[in-house]
Structure 1
Amino acid sequence: MSTDPETTEEAQPGTPDARPQDAASETGTQTGAGDEAGADTPAQQSEAEAELAAQRVERERIERRKAEKTGPIESGGKLSGTAADLLAAVRAVESGEKPVATGFAGPAPAPRRPAAPEPTRRPQPAPAAAPTAPATESVDAVRRVLADGGAPDTFAAQVAAVLGEGADTLLREDPWQLLRVTGVRPEQADGFARALLGAGCGPDDQRRGRATTVWLLEQAALAGHTALEMPALEAALAQRGVPDAEAAVQGTIAEGEALVFQDALEEPGAPARPRESAQDTEEGEEGDGERPVRVLVGLERYALAEEILADGLARLLNSLPKEGSQPWESAAASASGGSAELVRTVAGHGLVLHTGGQAARAEPAALLMAARTAGLRAFAACHTPDGRRRFAALLGADEDESAESVVTVAGLLAGTEGPGRDAEGALDLDLLVVLDAPLLDVENAAMVVESLPDGARLVLAGDPVVLWSTGPGRVFADLLAARACPQIASRVPDPGPLGELVSGIGIGELAQVEAPGKEIVIVPVRDAGEAVHRTVQLVADSVPRAIGVPAEQTVVITPGHGGAAGTRALNAALKERLNPGPGRFGGFDAGDRIVYSPAPGRTVPGQVVMADAEGLHLSCSGTPVVVPKERVEQSVRHGWALTAHQAGGDRWPAVVVVLPGDAAQALSRPWVYTAFSRADRHLSVVHGVEQALPKAVAEIPHKPRTTRLPALLRAQIPPTG
C-alpha cells in the first residue's frame, strides 16, 4: 500500500452514521424499508412491474398449494412446558380441532403445507397493470382517522394502500395496525392508540401485543432473519413494554399472523435442552435418544419460501435420469483445463456449488460455453446489469448473443429476459448458472428453484466471504454448511495487488501489499469533516489525475446513509463539486448520478435525464425509466456514494472506501471484503478507524442470521460428506 502524497496526517476517529438504511444487517441496526421501495411509471411495462407481477402470480400459486395440503409440522424432538403447549395448540388448530385450553383463543390459521417432493409448476407470469392507487374516498377517510389520533395525515395514501379496503374502520378498531406501515415505530403507534382509545388503551392490550410481535418479526426480516427463536422474541417483547410476552406470542399465532416451528439441533456443540420426564414421553418410547430442539416463530411468507426452496432443491437432486444424456456426456468429455472438474461435476448432478473470487468466474463461463457447444439450453443469471455485461464479456459474446444467454435474476423471474417457459410453466432450459449467489435471498431463491424443470442442472456460484443478501435468509451459506451437494472451490486467484489484498482479507489477514502502480492508496484523516473533504478531492481530482480514471467511473463506499460522513453528506458534497444545481426536480438535477430501487432490496445505478408531468426520467444501464413524482423520494437517491450492500454485484474501475472513526462498530470482515473487492484498477481508503480495521478483518465474521433452511435440508437431503 502507499500513502497519498497530499495527505500524511495521522488518523483520528470521525463520526459516521450508525444507522444505514439499505440493510439492517450491514450495521446491526434496523430502519424502515421505505427507502428501498419504488415503482415505475404506469405508462409502460417496466422490469420492476413485470417482476412484481411475477411475484403476485407466485403468491397466488403458493396460496393454492397451501389450500390443497394440510399436515402437522415435522417434529425433530420432544418439547416440554410452554413450548409443548405452543406446539400442541398449533397442531390442534392445523387439524381443525379446538385449541387446547392453555393454547390460543381465536380463529384458526390457514393450514400450512407440509414438505412436498414434487411441487406444482408455477404458471407463466402474465403482464399486469401497475398497482392502482387507493380511492380518494378511502384516503380521505384514513386522513380523518389519522387527524383524530394526532398522526400526520401526509401518509394517508400509504396507510390506505397498506391496510386496504376499510382501512379507516380497521384503524379505529385496532390503532396498532398502524405498525404495518413502513417507518412507523411502536412508540408512535402507542401514542396514536392513546389518542383514539383514551382510557381503554393500556400496555397489556392484546391488540398491542400481537401488532408488536409482528413488527418485531418484520424488523428481524430486515436484519436477514427468516424466524426468531422463542426466547429471543419474548425478550424483545419485554423490552418493548409488553407485560405478558408469552401471551402476546400465543395470540399472534392463534390469529394466524405468525407460525411456530420446532427444529432439531444438529450443530456440534449445540446446547442440550432439559430431558422430559418418563410421564411426558409417548407410549413405548424410552426418551434416551432425544435430540435437542429449538422453537422458532416466523412470518408465513418466509416460512413458506424456505419450505418451497428445500422441496425444490430436493427435487432437482432427485430428478436427474439414472443414465446420463448424450449432450452432457459430450460436454463433460470436451472439458479441459481448470474448468474440467466443474463441467464433469455438473454433468452428473442436479445442484452444484462453485466458490471463488472475481477471477474464478472464468470457470462458470467455460461451463456455459461447453454446455451450449454441446447443444444444451444453458443460461447464466447475474444480479445487476453491470454483472451481466461483465460475464457476457467473459463469454466473448456480442450484444445479441449475450442478451440471449446472460440475463439478470429479476428479468429471468419476470419473464422479460431469458429462455421463456415451457407448457408446464417451467423455464425452458437445461442449465442455469446463478452468479453472485450470496446475494440471493430466500424468496428469490425459492422462485428460481421452483421455476426449473425436472432434469435441469442448477449451479450457484459466488464468493462466500461477501456480504449476504439484503433480503432475509443466507441461502448460499446454508447450502455450503449443509453439504447437500457437490462443492467445487476454484483455485484461480484474483490477480495483482488488489487481488492479493482482498484474498488476504478473505482469510482474516489485512496484509501490507506492494502497489507500485498506486493500485492501493491509504489516506489518513482525523475526523468526519476531513474525510468528506479528502473523498471529494480524490474523486474529482487525485484519482483522475494520478490514475487516469474519470469521476464518473469512480464510486464511493461508506458504512451508512446518515451522519457526518454517510452517503447523504458525501453525495451532497460530491454533487456540489461534480454537478452543482438547485435540485429543481425534487432534489435532483439533470446529470445527477443516482441509484434507483425498483423493488425492495434492489438498487440500480443510473443518471437523471429530465423531469416532466410524468415524473423523473432516468437512464439506468441504458434503459429509460420514469419514476412518478410521488415515488421519487422513496425510490431514488443520489449515487456517487453508496453503502457496501448497495454496491454488491457491481464493480468500478476505481473505488474510494470511507472509514471515519465511528464506522468501527459497523465493520466486519465481509463488509471490508465486499467494499474493497468492488475495485478493478484502483482502491483508495480514507482511513480514520485506526486499529479497528485490522481487528474487524481478523475477528468479526458475518453477523448471525436465524434461518430454518439447514433443518429443512437435513430432513430431505443427506449430506454428501
Structure 2
Amino acid sequence: MPAAHPNALGTVVSATDNPELLCGELVRWVWQSPTGERAIAVLEDPTHGRWKIVGPLWGLTVGQTVRVWGKTVDDPKYGQQFRVESAQPALPNSAHGLAAWLGSGVVRGVGKRTGLRVIERLGDDALALIRTDINVLQGIVGKKRRKLLAAKLEELSAAEETAVFLFGLGLGPALVTKLQKHYGQDTLRKVRERPYDIINEIYGVGFRTADKMARAQGLDELAPERLQAALLFALQELAAQGHSAPPQGVVVEAAANAAVVAVQCIAAQVEALVARSVVVACHSRDGHGELKPALALSELAGAEQAIAQWIAGVVGSSERTSPQTPAENATAIALASAKLGFVLEGTQLQAVQLGLSAKLCIVTGGPGTGKTTILRGVLAALADDQTRVQLAAPTGRAARRLAEATGWPARTLHRLLAIDPAAHSVRATTVMDADLVVIDETSMVDAALMAQLLLALPAHARLLLVGDADQLPSVGPGAVLADLLACPHVARVRLDQVFRQAQASHIVVAAHQVLAGRVPSSAPSGGDFFMIERPDAETIVQTVCKVVLERLPAHRFDPVQDVQVLAPVHKGPLGTLAFNERLRELLNPDAAPALGGFRIGDKVLQLRNDYTLELSNGDIGRVVGVATKAAPATEDDGDDLADEDEDDQPLDTVDRASGPTLQVRFGERTVDYPLAQLENLTLAYAITVHKSQGSEYPAVVLPLHSCYFGMLQRNLLYTAITRARKFAVIVGEQRAVARAAANNAPIHRHTQLRVLLEKLP
C-alpha cells in the first residue's frame, strides 16, 4: 500500500485525509490514449514495489523518475491499481533513474550515451555528487549544458519540496499542480507570504482555500490580513452577483460568515481597507429605494464615478454637438428614408433625429419595434458626409449580428477600445478616431467597460446606445443601462410599437405578452412559438429531449447546431448540468474521446472573456479534434559535449509544456486550448439564460418548473424567448410560466452610479 505523505512538520498525514504517494521509475507503457492525456503504465517504487498506474500521465517518459498522487482502487475487471490524480517528474532516486533522466532529452544535446557515461564515471552516488558540485561532469558535459542541468535539478528539487509542503497544508493534487504551474519556483514564497493574493490570481481559488493555507501555517483567526481578505472576498463575490456598491452591512455579514468570526471583528477592518484605498466608502439604494452606506472595490467605484462625471459634462455643456443644423439633419433623414424605402414617423423619427444630434442618446425597445431601422436610418443619413462612425457591441456574436443588420463594419467593444489582452483589468489604450459611436446590446455592458468607453471617446464625439431595457442586466457588476435610463437628464427614446412585419412572428407576440404580464399563448398550427405543459421535472426532461431530438429536426432544425436549450440555473434536475449530461448521451454518445472529458463533436461554451483568443464569455463552438505536439528528438553529440567551446552554440531545454491541445471550432476559425485552459470550457447542449445574452439561435427550448421559484422573473422569461430567431418552445408548468410573467420585481443591483446621477443639477 502506498504511504501517506509527511506534512510540513514531518508528521505523517493519514491517507484517508490526503492522497497517497508513489515515487519511482516509469518502467513501461501498457496503454496510451491517442491524445496522450490518459494512459496506463507500470511504475517501480523502491519502497512499495511495482504498481500499475492509471490516469493523466502526459509529458512523462519511460525510464523517468516520477511522483504520482492518487489512491489505490480495486477494479472489478483489472484488479488492484493506482488511480492517478496528479503526476510530475521527480528527482531520480537511483543511478539507473539518473541515466534515464539525462537520456530523456531534458537538455538538448544530452542524450542516452551521455547518461551512461555519467554513471560509468560517477557510479551509484552520481546524483549526490552532481547536486553537490555540477562540475564533476566536466569532461563529459560542456559548461553551458552543465548550467542548464543544474537549473533543471534545482527546479525538480524545489518542486518536490513545494509539493510536500502543500500537501502538508491539506491541499489536493489538482490544486497543488495548478499552483505550481502558475507560480513555478515562486510557489512556496507566495503560499507562505501572501496566500490570500492567490484568490485574485488563480481562477477557482476562493477564500476558504486560501484561508486553509494561511491557517495551516499558524495565522491567527483574528489577524487583520485574514479579516481584510474576507472583506475583499465578500465584495468580489457580491460584484460577481452584479452589485458594484453593496450595502456595508451586507458586505460585513458576508465576510463574517466566510471567516467564521463575529461581525464586530470584521467591521473594525473596514476603515483599514478604506485608508489603503482598496475599498471606497459610498452610498447606494436598496430594493426599497432607501439610501444606505455602501462599500465598493476601488476599481468599480472609480468606473462609476467616471461615468457620472462624463454624464455631468454632457448635462453642463451648451455646445451643439452635431456639425449639421437641424434643417440639414431633416434633409438628410428625408433622403435616407427615400433611399431605404420606408418613412420614419413618430418615435422612430424622433430616435433618428436624436441619434444625429444629441451628445448622448439611448434607444430602447423590444423585438420588432424597429431598433435596427433606427440604426439604418442614422447610418444612411450620415452616408454622404464626412462623419466618422464606429459600430460596436459587447461580444463577437452581437457585433456580427450588428454588422449583418446594418451593412456596416462592427467590432467588439474590446477591439474598438484596443484593450490589452494580457491586462488583468479593462483599460482602453487609445482615444478613438470617431465622430459618432454606436453601441448595440447596451444592457450587456457593465460599469467597468462603459467607463473605458467614455474615457476613450474624443471630446467632440456623440454616443448612441441601443439596447433592450427589459432584458437581464449585464453579467459583470453594475446596472449601467438601467441607471442611465433612471436619470432624467439623459435623452432617450423608447420604442413600443410592434410593426406589422414583426407581428407575423408569434415569438415577437409572445415576448410582448410577457412584457404585459400575461402568459404567452401558443401560435396556431404552423406557427413559431409553442408551450407544452408538463407537470413534473422528469416528464419535462423527457419532453425537452424529445423536442430536441425529434420534433425540431422534423422542422429541419439540426439538434446540435440549431437548437439551444436554455435553463434558468446550473444545478438541480432541470439545470444545465443535468441537461448537458442527458443530451450529450443522446446527441453524441459514441464519439471519440478528446481532452478534459470532452468528445469529438461536443458542443461547448466559453466561460470567460479571453481577449487574446478574441473569445467572449458565452461563445459556443464544436470540438473538432486534438492536436499533439511531441517533444523534439534528442541528439547526443558524444565526445563533442565535453568541448568547452560549445558555449558558442545556442542551447536550450526541451519544451515539453506544449502538450496536446483541444481544437474547438468557433464560426469560421479554430481555437487550440491547452490542457491548462480547459477549465474555461463547459458543455453547451444546455446553457443558462444569462449566458445567452447577446445571442440568437434558430430554435430555443426553455424548461420551466416551480422548482425554479426564485428565478421565475419576467425579464428572465422575456430574455429567453427573444433569443429565438425562428422557433421557441416552452416545456413545463403553466403556473411557473404565469409566475414568471407576473413577477416584474426587478433584479435589484446595488450601484453607486444611480446615486451619483441623482446629484446632477
3-state SS of 1:473 partner: coil
CA contact (8 A) 2:522 2:530 kept: no
Task: Name the CA distance, whole Å, in 1 between partners of 2:527 and 2:269.
Answer: 58
| Counterparts of residues 221-232 of structure 1 (less than 5 Å) | 221-232=239-250
1:377: which partner in 2?
388
Go from structure 1 to structure 2 and tell me whether the alpha carbon gap of 1:301 and 1:143 turns closer, same or farther (over 3 Å shift).
farther
3-state SS of 1:228 partner: coil
3-state SS of 1:373 partner: coil
| Superimposed CA distance per residue, residues 456-514 of structure 1 (whole angstroms, 9 cap, x where no aligned partner) | 11111111110001100010000001123111111341523211111121232224354
1:576: which partner in 2?
585
Shift of 1:158: 4.5
1:340 matched to 2:349? The reply is: yes
| Superimposed CA distance per residue, residues 51-108 of structure 1 (whole angstroms, 9 cap, x where no aligned partner) | xxxxxxxxxxxxxxxxxxxxxxxxxxxxxxxxxxxxxxxxxxxxxxxxxxxxxxxxxx
Give 2:377's aligned amino acid.
Answer: A
2:710: which partner in 1?
665
CA contact (8 A) 1:327 1:376 kept: no
1:233 to 247, 251, 255: 251
Task: Name the CA distance, whole Å, in 2 between partners of 1:569 and 1:406.
Answer: 37
1:476 matched to 2:481? The reply is: yes
- Which protein is bigger by CA-based radius of gyration? 2
Deviates more, 1:489-498 or 1:426-435: 489-498
CA contact (8 A) 1:352 1:459 kept: yes
Give 2:519's aligned amino acid.
Answer: L
Structure 2 unaligned residues grouped into runs of 5+: 1-154, 335-343, 422-428, 611-615, 629-659
CA contact (8 A) 2:540 2:703 kept: yes
1:183 to 204, 207, 219: 204
2:237: which partner in 1?
219
2:558: which partner in 1?
550
Give 1:585's aligned amino acid.
Answer: L
Go from structure 1 to structure 2 and tell me whether the alpha carbon gap of 1:341 and 1:139 turns closer, same or farther (over 3 Å shift).
farther
1:406 to 401, 410, 424: 410
Deviates more, 1:326-335 or 1:618-627: 326-335
1:296 matched to 2:294? The reply is: yes
3-state SS of 1:239 partner: helix
1:449: which partner in 2?
454
Task: Name the CA distance, whole Å, in 2 between partners of 1:320 and 1:555.
Answer: 49
CA contact (8 A) 1:316 1:456 kept: no
2:599 to 589, 609, 616: 589
| Counterparts of residues 613-632 of structure 1 (less than 5 Å) | 613=628, 615-632=661-678
| Superimposed CA distance per residue, residues 415-459 of structure 1 (whole angstroms, 9 cap, x where no aligned partner) | 799xxxxxx931111111111111001111111111111111111
Task: Name the CA distance, whole Å, in 2 between partners of 1:709 and 1:140.
Answer: 50
Go from structure 1 to structure 2 and tell me whether the alpha carbon gap of 1:593 and 1:433 turns closer, same or farther (over 3 Å shift).
same
Shift of 1:145: 4.2
Give 1:466's aligned amino acid.
Answer: Q
Deviates more, 1:461-470 or 1:240-249: 240-249
Go from structure 1 to structure 2 and tell me whether the alpha carbon gap of 1:296 and 1:593 turns closer, same or farther (over 3 Å shift).
same
CA contact (8 A) 2:515 2:714 kept: yes
Go from structure 1 to structure 2 and tell me whether the alpha carbon gap of 1:150 and 1:384 turns closer, same or farther (over 3 Å shift).
same
2:433 to 420, 428, 433: 428
Task: Name the CA distance, whole Å, in 1 between partners of 2:531 and 2:558.
Answer: 19
1:694 matched to 2:738? The reply is: yes
CA contact (8 A) 1:480 1:487 kept: yes
1:41: which partner in 2?
none
Task: Name the CA distance, whole Å, in 2 between partners of 1:520 and 1:369.
Answer: 34
CA contact (8 A) 1:426 1:453 kept: yes
CA contact (8 A) 2:304 2:753 kept: yes
| Counterparts of residues 451-466 of structure 1 (less than 5 Å) | 451-466=456-471
CA contact (8 A) 2:321 2:462 kept: no
1:367 to 361, 367, 378: 378
Go from structure 1 to structure 2 and tell me whether the alpha carbon gap of 1:142 and 1:378 turns closer, same or farther (over 3 Å shift).
farther
CA contact (8 A) 1:138 1:160 kept: no
Deviates more, 1:511-520 or 1:487-496: 511-520
Shift of 1:667: 1.8
Deviates more, 1:529-538 or 1:151-160: 151-160
Shift of 1:681: 2.1
Shift of 1:377: 1.5
CA contact (8 A) 2:233 2:255 kept: no
1:146 to 159, 163, 166: 166
Shift of 1:631: 0.5
1:485 to 490, 504, 510: 490
Shift of 1:637: 1.6
Shift of 1:683: 1.2
| Superimposed CA distance per residue, residues 155-184 of structure 1 (whole angstroms, 9 cap, x where no aligned partner) | 246546888995533432455555445434
1:652 matched to 2:660? The reply is: no
CA contact (8 A) 1:597 1:603 kept: yes
Task: Name the CA distance, whole Å, in 2 between partners of 1:414 and 1:164.
Answer: 31
3-state SS of 2:252 partner: helix
| Superimposed CA distance per residue, residues 222-252 of structure 1 (whole angstroms, 9 cap, x where no aligned partner) | 0001122122222323434222232132333
Task: Name the CA distance, whole Å, in 2 between partners of 1:159 and 1:312.
Answer: 42
Go from structure 1 to structure 2 and tell me whether the alpha carbon gap of 1:653 and 1:239 turns closer, same or farther (over 3 Å shift).
same
Give 1:550's aligned amino acid.
Answer: D
CA contact (8 A) 1:142 1:159 kept: no
CA contact (8 A) 2:594 2:625 kept: no
| Superimposed CA distance per residue, residues 639-690 of structure 1 (whole angstroms, 9 cap, x where no aligned partner) | 22111111111112211001244222222111111111111221111104x4
1:637 to 665, 673, 682: 682
Go from structure 1 to structure 2 and tell me whether the alpha carbon gap of 1:216 and 1:350 turns closer, same or farther (over 3 Å shift).
same
CA contact (8 A) 1:504 1:511 kept: yes
Shift of 1:706: 0.7
Task: Name the CA distance, whole Å, in 1 between partners of 2:321 and 2:698.
Answer: 47
1:524: which partner in 2?
533
Give 2:493's aligned amino acid.
Answer: I
Report % sequence identity.
25
Higher normalized strand content (fraction of residues): 2
Shift of 1:605: 1.4
Go from structure 1 to structure 2 and tell me whether the alpha carbon gap of 1:444 and 1:141 turns closer, same or farther (over 3 Å shift).
farther
Give 2:381's aligned amino acid.
Answer: A
CA contact (8 A) 1:478 1:710 kept: yes
CA contact (8 A) 1:524 1:687 kept: yes
1:307 to 294, 300, 305: 305
Go from structure 1 to structure 2 and tell me whether the alpha carbon gap of 1:535 and 1:136 turns closer, same or farther (over 3 Å shift).
farther
| Superimposed CA distance per residue, residues 329-348 of structure 1 (whole angstroms, 9 cap, x where no aligned partner) | 63443225143212221333
CA contact (8 A) 1:316 1:457 kept: no
2:89: which partner in 1?
none
Go from structure 1 to structure 2 and tell me whether the alpha carbon gap of 1:138 and 1:219 turns closer, same or farther (over 3 Å shift).
farther
